[in-house]
Amino acid sequence: MPTSFFSAAGKFHRGNLHTHSTGSDGVLSPKEVCRRYQAEGYDFIALTDHFVGLFDYPITDTTAFHNDHFTTIPGAELHTGSMENGNLWHIVAAGLPHDFTPPNAPDFHALEGSESATSIAQRARDAGAFVAIAHPHWSGMTEADARTITAAHAVEIYNHGCVVDNDRGEGFMTLEHLLNDGRELNLIATDDAHFNTPDFFGGWVMVKATQNTPEALLTALKAGEYYSSTGPQINDIRITEEGVEVDCSSAVTIIVQGKGTSTATLHGQSITKAQLSLNRLTDSPWVRVTVIDRAGKRAWSNPIWRES
């Protein structure tokens, strides 16, 4: 994806795209979830309660909690069908209309003959949602499973709740299998917050938009005009004839990954500007950047397709 959004008009808005409340199995009311995220400096969240019959298929209305500095995107975590291991699918959809037609998903058990994940992901995208494959490591998702979701915009590569509760919170392998198939997918870091464990304020997206409104944020998300983080800031990425130039908050390591095992890696102290050669990645159709700070926190760019 292009990186010109870093220097385009607008500002970065910090948001969490995977959050739960008492609308499903979270422990805080939607109002309190919104209050806490705003108090922690977030600009927006998507409240994505579990879209199953047990909770009356909620798409929680949070418009009453908007103000001049905070907004919300309506959404849900969709469940239907069955993966190869027999587990129910989890798909995050931010920007769902409130009249989105539910599948036959009465609870968290997969039903034979229910709507496929391929179908519900496509329906969500067609309805205007930003669609992401949720926590593939935690789910036990296979490469074959992931390939069936053709309507996703992104893969959840960091899920803070899964990191905290079971150390299965990453999704890079799933993402890179799909990238290597030629799928132009992006990535997201999220909380998956339920507030019953320390599963909050750990992973987020920084979305570049001219307004902090659901419409502007969704447009930017779908265009890939954002990066993901657990701490560091990425201020700019430029692809030049010499390689990749990165401007960021203070870092000790910057890595450029691509297809295959080769990387371009720079270690140092208090790095805020860096240039890394792509000589070892000449055959990779895509590259992505990871920034690591002294505390081990990370920020990740979306994949950049070099022909773009």
For the whole model, what pTM was predicted? 0.96
The answer to whether 255 and 234 have CB atoms below 8 angstroms apart is no
Beta-carbon contacts of 228 under 8 Å, excluding residues fewer than 6 positions away, are: 157, 158, 187, 188, 189, 203, 204, 205, 206, 299, 300, 302
The span from the CA of 3 to the CA of 288, in Å, is 11
Pair of tokens at residue 72: 């919300």
Class of domain 4-228: alpha beta
Query: Which one-letter amino acid corresponds to residue 62?
Result: T
The answer to whether 100 and 59 have CB atoms below 8 angstroms apart is yes
CATH number of this structure's domain 234-305, picked from the four choices 1.10.287, 3.30.1330, 2.50.20, 2.60.40:
2.60.40
Other beta carbons within 10 angstroms of residue 33's beta carbon come to 28
The span from the CA of 279 to the CA of 202, in Å, is 34
Residue 307, judged by CB atoms within 10 A of its CB (0-12, 13-18, 19+), counts as exposed
| CA distances in angstroms from 186 to 38, 225, 237, listed in the order given | 26, 10, 16
Q: What is the DSSP string of 51-114?
A: ESGGGTS-----GGG-BTTBEEEEEEEE--SB-TTSPBP-EEEES--TTPPP-S--SSS--TTP
Written as tens digits, the pLDDT of the chain (308 aa) is 568 999 999 999 999 999 999 999 999 999 999 999 999 999 999 999 999 999 999 999 999 999 999 999 999 999 999 999 999 999 999 999 999 999 999 999 988 889 999 999 999 999 999 999 999 999 999 999 999 999 999 999 999 999 999 999 999 999 999 999 999 999 999 999 999 999 999 999 999 999 999 999 999 999 999 999 999 999 999 998 889 999 999 999 999 999 999 999 999 999 999 999 999 999 999 999 999 999 999 999 999 998 75
**Spans of all domains in the chain:** 4-228, 234-305
